[in-house]
Structures are given as C-alpha cells and as structure tokens.
Amino acid sequence: MLAIDLSGRLALVTGASGQLGRVIARTLATAGADIAVHYLTNREQADTVCADIRSLGRRAAAVQADVGDQESVEAMQRTVAEQLGEPDIVVCNAVSQYRWTTVLEQEVADYESQFRSCVMQNVLMAKAFAPAMIARGWGRFVATSTECAMQNAPNQSAYVSGKRGMDGVLRVLAKELGPNGITVNQVAPGWTISERHRASGTERSESYERNVPLRRRGEDFDIANAVAFFASDLAGFITGVFLPVSGGTVMPAI
C-alpha cells in the first residue's frame, strides 16, 4: 500500500495559525514532517499548533513574519535555520483579508495588498528558501491558490488578480527550479469547510453545492491531503500544476 511518508523532512507552512494553515501543518506532521509554524499576529494560536505537532513526536517552532516584506521574510529564514534547519518543503498559504466588491468600488489598496500576499509572498519565499533546496538537489514548493482564479466572478477582482499573478510566477519558477530537483505546484480549493463552519453549524450551502459535480463542499483536510501529496516523493515527477480541489466546480481544459 502506498503511503505518504515525510519522515526526515522539514516543512515551513505560512499562515499556519489560520483555519486552513493549521490543518495543513498538522497533516504534514502526521505524515512525519517537522514543522515551522508561521504566523503574522496570532502567536497564541501558533503556539497551540506547535503543541499539537510536538504531541505527534515531531519538532515544531513558531516563526513570525510579514510574508510580503523582504526583510521580514529574510529574518524568518534565519530564525527557522537556527531553530530547526533549512526547510525541504515550503507551503505558501498565508492570505490577506479585504472587502469584496466591484472593480469600480474596490480600493486600490486592496489590489496592492493582494499583490503582496499572493505574488510577493511566493517570490520572497523562493528567494529565501530555494537556495538551500538547490544545494541539496531536492525541494518542494506548494502554494494555495483558489477556484476563483478560474471563475472570475463579480466582486472577485482583487483576489483573482493576485492569484493569477501568483500563477504566472509559480509556472516560471517550476521551470527554473526543475533542473535542481525542486517541484513547484499549486492547490486550488473551492469554498472549503473549516473549523469555524463546523462550530457554527454552517457546513451546508445548497446553492453552492448544486453547482459542484460531487455535490458537497470540500473539507479542510481535503486540501491538506493534496498539499501532503505534492510534498511527498509520490509527486516527484509532477511540477507546474494548478490542481483544483473543488469537487469538479472548475476543470482546467487542454
């Protein structure tokens, strides 16, 4: 039986104090990886995630950074190296929040914020962490995208612009890092059920589900499992992929 085994690997997950990020971090730890738990402001939640990971017998450390700021990311790289070592796996999952509205009403600052959190996060994380992967001849970059990048629905312009810009950067990065044994892939969730939905009893949405071929919303662990696959040796010959994990709501075509 095939199994995802990340034993001996170190993963850095950005936004790991958030709803999806902490499930990704725990899933990678369950597969055997040690985890650098990134957070921006919520140190308490990051420490809780670290405690969960250590209870699985893995190493963990909480690391703070603004992933859209070069000096901050470089400082985080030094901290991770000192506390845990150089990551084999980088998961770019951090997001920035804003009010969704029409192009004509959207604040310019919202586009700039999405550019930093989507495009620049991946650029800066690659600059900080790819050199050590190149030296080892092995590495994994996995980024969280969204089905919205294909849907282009009203009120999504700031988010879509950031994610589509991220897509271009990561496809180029996949070609540039491929000769060094490093893969670069994207996981694109649909509207995903997380802890807050379970706590509030809002898991179901018939209006959304009727447009999903599998007739349900995805779960956070569905996304985390796809990330774990991309991080593993099972995906060693897969790179440059945009993988919807959305129950078929969006389907890239050839």
Q: Which residues are catalytic?
A: 159
Could you give the 3-state DSSP secondary structure of residue 29? Answer: helix
**Exposure of 18 by Cβ count < 10 A (0-12 exposed, 13-18 middle, 19+ buried)?**
buried
Structure tokens, 48: 């809780």
Give Cα 245 to chain centroid, integer Å. 13
**Exposure of 86 by Cβ count < 10 A (0-12 exposed, 13-18 middle, 19+ buried)?**
middle
Cβ(190)–Cβ(218) below 8 Å = yes
Distance CA 111, CA 120 (A): 12
Structure tokens, 84: 């845990």
Phi, psi of 232 (to 5 degrees): -95, 170
